[in-house]
Structure 1
Amino acid sequence: MLRTQKDRAGLVAVLLFGLLLLNPATVVPPSTALAATTAATATATAGQSSVSGQVTIEFWHGITGPDKEGLDLLIDKFNRLYAGKIRIQSTPIAWGEYYSKVVVAVAGGSPPDLGIIHRDRMPEVALQNVLRPLDDVFNALGLTDDDFIGRISREGIYGGKRYGIPLDIHTLLLFYNEDHFDQAGLPGPPQRAAQFLDYARKLTLDRNGDNQPDQWGTRFGIWGPQWYTALRQMGGDYFGGENYTQVTVADPPGRNALQYVVDLMFKHKVAPPPEIWPDMFAGQVSMAVDGIWFLRQAQDLRNQGKVDLRVAKADRLYGDVAPAVWAGSHQFVIFRQPKDRPEKLQAMATFIDFMSRNSATWASFGQVAIRKDALATEEWRQLKDHQIIVQQQFVFFPPQPWGTGLGIIEDIMNRALRERQPVESALEAGKKQLEVRIKEFREQLGI
């Protein structure tokens, strides 16, 4: 923690001089820049020993899926670029264990240096006092919110402080089977809700007449982000009011959105019930709204000539009130330390900036690039599918610790879709659960 103006000035000096490290192709080579940084900040950081040798950054994250290949590639590139000066020591931890381990490590006085957290968890983690505010780092890097697309940079702010610097956006999109569309005589992906439903009917096929479709028009999971997409397209939200403390999930847009999913399955019969999950990679479903993290697999199958999956926007498929598709974001964070070490802050700032500037490379592993300058690169222009995806209107869960619905949204969907409870009673039961959980959460966190 920076306790004095002198400490804060020392940090800013380190970071400003550290900008020389951000582009190793600059006139000053990394070794000279690091030496210059040390000398320039020696007096400003009284009692701080001079930087010597390699700075190692302990970097924890939950990137363990297919996109880990991309993260490993970029970390390796960075470590080779700054060999002998900065080394990023990567520790992947499954997301299911990650957040609790971070809290324990910080409380125990031996936290990692750098991490990635989901934007949706930012309020909760910030209130647990495990994150160091990054306003000074963000400013010292010369960044502004306008350097990033949309509002994504502001999504790292909670309670008036910046705790995260964005790495990416991950979102939903429409995967559609072009062979199925050709066979049905459909000209291209649907653009509006009525067209989506019409296409789903035409694409649902029971070839052997056993009343069990062999090819489904679409599918809908018991999954908050997908239903949140439908809810926002119909003009609703999970929460509203001051500081999002009012539960609005059972308001008319919520009833419309849940009834819509029920009707897809049990009235129109163009999507299977929850116990059946048709595989889009096996050609069992024609239109699937799912995550960008499946994009590389879809592209591989397309390139191999196995399944011709194409991509389209998903932000107007369920409702016509407002374009919206759920999005999340991986955000870089710096964990609270017993004492700030300026040379580590400089090294972490250098790595964060490196990753941000390589936004297009990272995007190719199943994300959306968020730096505007990355969108002007030839590398980005070659990512044709991404250029469709980035045109969507992204919406994020409400910026509160309970913003994701605390798993209760899935309970609501289970009541309506598995237990076949009436939509109104499923929503009202969920509303009461959410009101109780929010009260408990606020008492626990003191907010």
Structure 2
Amino acid sequence: MNKNIYRFLLSLLVIITLSTCKSRTVENFTTVTLSGWQSNPNEQQLLDRVLKKFEAENPNIKVKYEVINEQYMDVIKTRLIGDAAPDVFYLDSFEAPLLMKYEVLEPLDSYITAKFDLDDFEPSLLKAFRYNGKIYGLPKDFATLALFYNKKAFAEVGLSQPPQTWEELRDYSQKLTIDKNRDGRIDRYGFCIIPELSRQYFMIKAFGGQLIDRNGYAAFATPDSLKGLELLINQYRKERTAAQPTDVGADSCSEMLGQGKTVMAIEGSWAIPFLKETFPKVEFAIAEVPPVNEKEGTMAYTVAYVMNKQAQHKEAAWKLIAYLTGKQGMKAWASQGLAIPTRKSVLNELNYSENSLYTPFVEGAKYATIWQSGENLPTILTHFNNQFISALIGEQSLQDAMLKAQNTANREILAAK
């Protein structure tokens, strides 16, 4: 045989053999798809490191991670309808009731063992992903709201500690609000308000009010529900010691605080790295939200890892969820302070309870109102926000605004049944 032909055939044989081996190797891997959103670049880098560690410990599983930042839930819902959703994905407690009701998620009870230590999770956060006695998601982290305040501005007016009641917060706001030129234009407000239901749900409950009734209809236009909201309206309109971020050209209360346009703001733990990085010269401290009507209250937001009921490799998908929400994976995920862990043991191990900046958030989880209220909450949210802002700026009374929001939301809920 011609030597050149022999060499060609030998080379061809080697290529075919390598290709076959490669194919067989790939076939030994199980690929699990994971989707979520990204709050900042550091978050994705941290998760990438956690996922690589998972793959190292589970060499037969590869994770294909996709970031969806635009219209996240619309994308997930569309893919669920088309049987193209990821195996595992983030699910906010706000959206969970609808997906749990329509059974598009895989119940996790049969996968959870005693070794997994379910009792280690904060009970109220885990409850957000229970439906009809089944667990459909495991919360990966959480955030509550707490009171941020500028220590230097406090000292300037002789204040040495945060307000202990909501009445005291209003009194502080008057002392801290400044009109330098006495021309009616406020240069610095004592307090920042976010006029959204996701921030003010706990204020509705402070005087015994409720958001929805037993049948899932909006029920927030009652006198008891309005009392907490009226406190905000009065502080904004009558006392003029509070402002929205948009009133001063800011995007958030934390930005207002950093710019010196407010002294107090109720924000989540996500504001800590923002203030440190963007406004490093601002000396701020954090306290629990002052009690309203002698009742402790704040909001809590949590996100779970859930499994698509149509996932092709459910055992591998569970291994991923178990790792990410297990003690080892959660510790790695929460080690840099980007998120507060939902496991009590990890909270203690990472000393969150002993960090003065994070203690108010951890304590708040014990009595917080979870941002969740049935499958009709998205509809109620839209109409509440539209009308509450109208009442805040004085276009109509709070009672008229909330009654209009309640009736419009309920007509829409009834029409959808």
Structure-1-length-normalised TM-score: 0.78
Amino acid corresponding to residue 187 of structure 1 in structure 2: S
Aligned to 1:121: 95
Is the contact made by 1:141 and 1:349 (CA closer than 8 Å) also made in structure 2? no
Q: Distance in 2 between matches of 1:207 and 1:314?
A: 29
Aligned to 2:72: 98
* Matched position secondary structure for 1:407: helix
Q: Does 1:56 align with 2:31?
A: yes
- Runs (5+) with no aligned partner, structure 2: 1-24, 251-255
Is the contact made by 2:125 and 2:370 (CA closer than 8 Å) also made in structure 1? no
* Matched position secondary structure for 1:82: helix
Aligned to 1:437: 412
How far does residue 207 in structure 1 lie from its aligned partner after superposition? 1.0
Aligned to 1:221: 194
* Matched position secondary structure for 2:141: coil
Q: Which of 241, 260, 270 pairs up with 1:270?
A: 241
How far does residue 430 in structure 1 lie from its aligned partner after superposition? 1.1
Residue 341 and residue 165 in structure 1: after superposition, are their counterparts in 2 closer, same or farther (change >3 A)?
Answer: closer
> CA-to-partner distance for each residue in 1:53-83, whole Å, 9 max, x for gaps?
4333211012x223x5234313313314533
Is the contact made by 2:35 and 2:88 (CA closer than 8 Å) also made in structure 1? yes
How far does residue 182 in structure 1 lie from its aligned partner after superposition? 0.7
Q: Does 1:298 align with 2:275?
A: yes
* Matched position secondary structure for 2:358: helix
Deviates more, 1:68-77 or 1:205-214: 68-77
Q: Distance in 2 between matches of 1:293 and 1:274?
A: 17
Amino acid corresponding to residue 176 of structure 1 in structure 2: Y
Amino acid corresponding to residue 283 of structure 1 in structure 2: G
Aligned to 1:427: 402
Residue 383 and residue 273 in structure 1: after superposition, are their counterparts in 2 closer, same or farther (change >3 A)?
Answer: closer
Q: Which of 128, 134, 144 pairs up with 2:108?
A: 134
> CA-to-partner distance for each residue in 1:292-347, whole Å, 9 max, x for gaps?
22121123457x3x11121111152xx22421111110111011216454344334
Is the contact made by 2:306 and 2:321 (CA closer than 8 Å) also made in structure 1? no
Amino acid corresponding to residue 402 of structure 1 in structure 2: N
The structure having more radius of gyration, on CA atoms, is 2
Q: Which of 258, 261, 285 pairs up with 1:281?
A: 258
Aligned to 1:374: 346
Is the contact made by 1:229 and 1:315 (CA closer than 8 Å) also made in structure 2? no
- Runs (5+) with no aligned partner, structure 1: 1-49
Amino acid corresponding to residue 370 of structure 2 in structure 1: F
Matches within 5 A, 1:36-185: 53-62=28-37, 64-66=38-40, 68-80=41-53, 82-83=55-56, 84-94=59-69, 96-139=70-113, 142-144=116-118, 146-185=119-158
Amino acid corresponding to residue 287 of structure 2 in structure 1: A
Q: Which of 364, 376, 393 pairs up with 1:418?
A: 393
Amino acid corresponding to residue 380 of structure 1 in structure 2: Y
How far does residue 259 in structure 1 lie from its aligned partner after superposition? 2.0
Residue 79 and residue 398 in structure 1: after superposition, are their counterparts in 2 closer, same or farther (change >3 A)?
Answer: closer
Q: Distance in 1 between matches of 2:151 and 2:317?
A: 50
Is the contact made by 1:55 and 1:347 (CA closer than 8 Å) also made in structure 2? no
Q: Distance in 1 between matches of 2:196 and 2:42?
A: 26
Q: Distance in 2 between matches of 1:221 and 1:117?
A: 24
Q: Which runs of 4+ in 1 moved over 6 A?
A: none
Q: Which of 285, 289, 296 pairs up with 1:310?
A: 285
Matches within 5 A, 1:188-337: 188-241=161-214, 243=215, 245-272=216-243, 275-277=246-248, 279-300=256-277, 304=280, 306-316=281-291, 319-337=292-310
Residue 181 and residue 131 in structure 1: after superposition, are their counterparts in 2 closer, same or farther (change >3 A)?
Answer: same
Amino acid corresponding to residue 396 of structure 1 in structure 2: I
> CA-to-partner distance for each residue in 1:17-61, whole Å, 9 max, x for gaps?
xxxxxxxxxxxxxxxxxxxxxxxxxxxxxxxxx996433321101
Task: State the number of aligned residues.
Answer: 382
- Percent identity, please: 22
